[in-house]
Amino acid sequence: MKTQVCIVGAGPAGLLLGHLLCAEGIECVVLERRPPDYVLGRIRAGVLEQTTVSLMERLGLDARLKQEGLVHDGFNLADGERLIRIDIAGLTGKHVVVYGQTELTRDLMEAREARGLEVIYEAADVTLHAIHSDAPFVTYSKNDVPQRIDCRIVAGCDGSHGPSRQAIPAAVATEYEREYPFGWLGILADVPPCNHELIYANHSRGFALASMRSERRSRYYIDVPLTERVEDWPDERIWDELAIRLGPEAAAHIIRGPSLEKSIAPLRSYVFAPMRHGSLLLCGDAAHIVPPTGAKGLNLAASDVHYAAEALTKFFKRGDGEAIAGYSSRALARVWKAERFSWSLTRLMHRFPEDGPFERAMQVAELDYISSSRAAQTSIAENYVGLPV
């Protein structure tokens, strides 16, 4: 088979890129290792920046997002004693939209036939070849039959463990990494949220987040040491812990229910640079990971794809090779700012095991400063709502 762009991975990055290229009349094929139901079963992000919403709008795939997405004008930081509201709308004139990654992925998946986007699911042993050249190709097997796709560009949208990043020689890249000594234990339940806006809490027993997917479906997280296992956390133990960490005001409104999903995700900051090598562009988690504290992962995948689609359109329509060459530095400029924000919010809102009284005093002072400074709140709000692309 021959195409212009071979996209590896049909998560949000791969599907968004596929749709944007189709809309520009650029040929592409998406290869995904998993079956569609598996992709939709992953419970992940919940908060969309305006940039991500705008991409769905541009594609004309935002009907359900508009109808079911919850517009949030603010969120809250709790520190045991007080609740600091960050008035995103008042401070930036913008808002975020609560709409699950699962739903966004479903919208992109359901539109593929109508838009002529070819996605090959259950593609095994995907391998990239000759990415340093102008004639790369990708091999895989489907139902045990070996296949080959010749293309001009490969887009690596295959998440943090995919083969794309690994195809780039270590000698030409730099990896930046920070691991955190805890993970987030998440619970999804069909109960109304305890608050109409998100609450991020820093409690002496640890971090907690009250989030949601809809007015009837809640998503909560607590941080746990990496040694913990989901089996150690029956639902009631999680609800008890949430009630303590989120504080009495929120606890009074927590409605408990059986978990639909429960999992532990380790926290990590990671950047792989550059995000392009020869004819391979990396987008989304394939190139970077942020801890979920800033709700930036999916949104960064969307902004990468925005830059990639723009570069590929210039390249295929006008033969502009510079656009491809400039992709990595454009994308990384935004990535690093999101890395900084996610790292600093993680630092502020979690109790690190190695912290002593000084580090805790710094957290208290910073929360105190944020609660009393419009400038500090504006800085948080403009990062949370998403920096311009």
DSSP-assigned states of every residue in 193-220? -SSSS-EEEEETTEEEEEEESSSS-EEE
Quick one: which of 5, 7, 20, 46 contacts ligand RFL (CB under 6 A)? 46
Query: Is the N-terminal amide bond of 163 cis, ω within 30° of 0?
Result: no
112 binds ligand PHB (CB under 6 A): no
Beta-bridged to residue 219, according to DSSP, are 188, 211
Which tokens sit at 320? 């502009």
269 binds ligand PHB (CB under 6 A): no
Q: Is 99 helix (H, G, I), strand (E, B) or coil?
A: coil
Which range in 45-53, 148-156, 174-182, 348-356 contacts ligand RFL by CB under 6 A? 45-53
Cβ proximity to ligand PHB: between 58 and 256 the closer is 256
What is the DSSP pairing of strand 96-98 with strand 70-72? antiparallel
Q: Which residues contact 355 (CB under 8 A, 6 or more apart)?
A: none
Draw the binding track, 116-155, toward ligand RFL (x: CB under 6 A; -: no contact).
-------x--x-----------------------------
Answer with the entry of ligand RFL, ligand PHB, none that 158 interacts with (C-beta below 5 to 8 A by kind).
Answer: ligand RFL
How far CA 52 is from CA of 90, 161, 232, 345, in Å, comes to 21, 23, 36, 21
Answer with the entry of ligand PHB, ligand RFL, none that 219 interacts with (C-beta below 5 to 8 A by kind).
Answer: ligand PHB
CA-nearest of 2, 108, 16, 28 to 303 is 16
219 binds ligand PHB (CB under 6 A): yes
Residues identified as active-site:
72, 200, 292, 296, 384
Tell me which residues touch ligand PHB (CB under 6 A). 45-47, 198, 211, 219, 292-293, 295
Contacts with ligand RFL, residue ranges (CB under 6 A)? 8-14, 31-34, 39, 44-47, 101, 123, 126, 157-159, 162-163, 184, 186, 265, 284-285, 292, 295-299, 301
